[in-house]
Amino acid sequence: MPTATRIPLSQPALVHPLWFLVFAAVLSTVPAALSTEGQRGDWGQDWVLSNGDLWLQAAGIGFLVLGVAISGRTAATPWLTVSDGSLDRLEKLTRILFWLAMAGYLVWFGLAVLQNGPSFLTGGSGAQKAVTVPGITTLTQVGPFVIAACTLLHRLGRPHPVMLVLTLVLGAIRVVANSERLALLELLMPLAVVLALLPRVRGARVPGPKKRWPSGLAFLGWSGAGLGALLGFFALSEQSRSWSFYASRTDQTLLGFSADRLQAYYATATNNGALYLHGLSPDLIRPETTLQFLWEFPVLGGAFRAMSGGDRTSGTDLWRAYLDAHSNPEFNNPSALLPIFGELRLLAPVLLVLVGVVLGRVYRNACAGSPAALLGYAVAAIGLLELPRFFYYGQGRAFPLVVVCLLAAMYLRAPRRSAAEAPTQQTSTLHTGERHVTR
C-alpha cells in the first residue's frame, strides 16, 4: 500500500514576499536618507542620489508588490504531504547535488591552497581570493538548495546531518578565506525559511491555514530582531574583512564600527544605483546587470557579448572602471532597481511585475503544500533579501539555483493517476518526534 508523510505547514507573515519587500524598501532608503555630508565624505562617494531617484526606487518596489498581489490565489493547506516515492526522489536528488557541490569546493579550495598556501584557509592578509574554474567551481552554488532540501528531509523524518553541517561549514570557510559573506547568507536564508514554514507543533494540534500577520508591536519587535540579527551577522563577518585593517585606526568598538559600516553598505548601494542610472547605463548597449548571468556564462559568455555587438568588456569590469573614475570602488554594490530602470527603461516595470508574479506564485504553491515550491521559495528568498544591494536573480551565481529548482519541480512531481486507479494511501503524520498513522 502506498504511503505518505505529512507535517504541519505554516504561513508566517515574516517570510511572505511582501514582508521581504517592506524590509528591502527600508534598507534601500533609510540608510541613505540618514547619511550626513561627513559620512559621505568618509565613504569617498560622489553623491548624486536625489529625491527623484528614491521615488523611482520606491516605484520599483511597488511594481514587485503589484506582481505579488496579482499572482493569483491558491487554497492554503495546514499540511505538507509528501508521498514516499517523492520523498525517495528528493533524497536521491539531494545526494547528487551535495556531491556536485563537494566536487566544486574540492577544486576551488585545492587551487586556492596551491596559490596561497595555508594562509588561504585563515584569511591571511597576504592571501588572494581563490581562483575559479568556470563551470566547475560554479557547482558550489547548488549549496543553498542542498541546505533547503536537507532541512525539509529532516522535518520529514529522514535527517542527513553530515550533508547539512558540511555544506554550512564550507560556506563559513568561504566567508573567512574568500571575504565572501554572501556565500554563508545564501545557506542561512533557505534554512531559516524552511524552518519557518515547517514549524514543530506539539501534540495533535492542526495549524490554521490562515496567515498570521503580527500586531503593530510584534511587527516592530520582529523588525528590530531582524535588524539586530543582520547587524550581528555583519559584525561577525567583518572581523575577517575590514576590521582587521581599521581596528588600529579607529577608536570605535567592533559593534559600533560594524553599525557604521552596515549603513555605508546600504547607503552607498543606493547612491551607486543612481550613479549607474545616470552615468553608466546611457552608454551601455546591453542589460549588463539584468542579464549578467548570460554575458558571463562559462565559455559561451564571450560569444553572447559578441552577438549583442559593441564592446566585449564584461559588465563587472565596466562597473569597476566607472567606480574607479567616479566614486569609491571599495563600496561597489550597485543596488538592484535603479540599474534595471537604467538598462531597460520602459520595459523595467514589465520585468519587475513578472518577477513579483513568479515570487508570489511560488510562495502560494508552497503554502498549498508543494515540496518543490517550498524549496524554490526558500532559495528565492535570498534574492528578496539582497534587493537593496544588487539584482541577485540576474547574477551568474543564481543561475544554477534557478536551473536546479526547475529540474526539481519536474523530478519531484509524482505521476498522476485517476481516482479509479489510485490505491488507498496510508499517511504518516509527524509532529515533534511523534508518529501518528491514519488510513
**Contact assessment for residue 187 and residue 168, using Cβ atoms and an 8 Å cutoff:** yes
pLDDT for position 419: 42
Is pLDDT above 70 for 340? Answer: yes
Which residue, 410, 352, 414, 413, is CA-closest to 383? 352
In the chain, the amino acid numbered 42 is D
Q: Does residue 386 or residue 433 have the better pLDDT?
A: 386
pLDDT digits (tens, 9 = 90+) for 125-174: 444 566 666 777 789 999 999 999 999 999 999 999 999 999 999 988 88
Long-range contact list for 407-410, CB < 8 A, 24+ apart? 408/90, 408/93, 408/145, 408/372, 408/375, 408/376, 409/372, 409/373, 409/376
pLDDT above 70 as % of the chain: 83
pLDDT for position 315: 83
Longest C-alpha distance within the chain, in Å?
75
In the chain, the amino acid numbered 228 is G
Is pLDDT above 50 for 248? Answer: yes
pLDDT digits (tens, 9 = 90+) for 1-31: 558 788 889 888 889 999 899 989 999 999 9
The cell for 419 is 481516482
pLDDT for position 430: 61
pLDDT digits (tens, 9 = 90+) for 91-138: 999 999 999 999 999 988 888 777 776 666 555 444 456 666 677 778
Domain ranges in the chain are 3-85+199-414+424-438
pLDDT band at 216; cut points 50, 70, 90: low
Is pLDDT above 70 for 260? Answer: yes
Is pLDDT above 90 for 204? Answer: no
pLDDT for position 240: 66
- How far is Cα 48 from Cα 231, in angstroms, rounded to an integer? 27
- How far is Cα 207 from Cα 221, in angstroms, rounded to an integer? 23
Is pLDDT above 50 for 438? Answer: no
The cell for 371 is 515540496
pLDDT for position 249: 79
**Contact assessment for residue 222 and residue 210, using Cβ atoms and an 8 Å cutoff:** no
Helix (H) or strand (E) holding 350: helix 348-367
Count other C-beta atoms under 10 Å from residue 235's C-beta: 19
Which residue, 112, 226, 92, 260, is CA-closest to 176? 112
- How far is Cα 210 from Cα 195, in angstroms, rounded to an integer? 18
Is pLDDT above 80 for 429? Answer: no
The arithmetic mean of pLDDT across residues 280-300, rounded, is 88
Burial (CB count within 10 angstroms: exposed 0-12, middle 13-18, buried 19+), residue 79? middle
Q: For the chain, what is the radius of gyration of the CA atoms?
A: 23
pLDDT digits (tens, 9 = 90+) for 315-324: 888 899 999 9
- How far is Cα 299 from Cα 152, in angstroms, rounded to an integer? 35
Is pLDDT above 60 for 208? Answer: no
Q: What single string gives the DSSP state of each residue in 73-100?
A: -----SEEEEEHHHHHHHHHHHHHHHHH
pLDDT for position 434: 42
Is pLDDT above 70 for 180? Answer: yes
pTM for the full model?
0.87
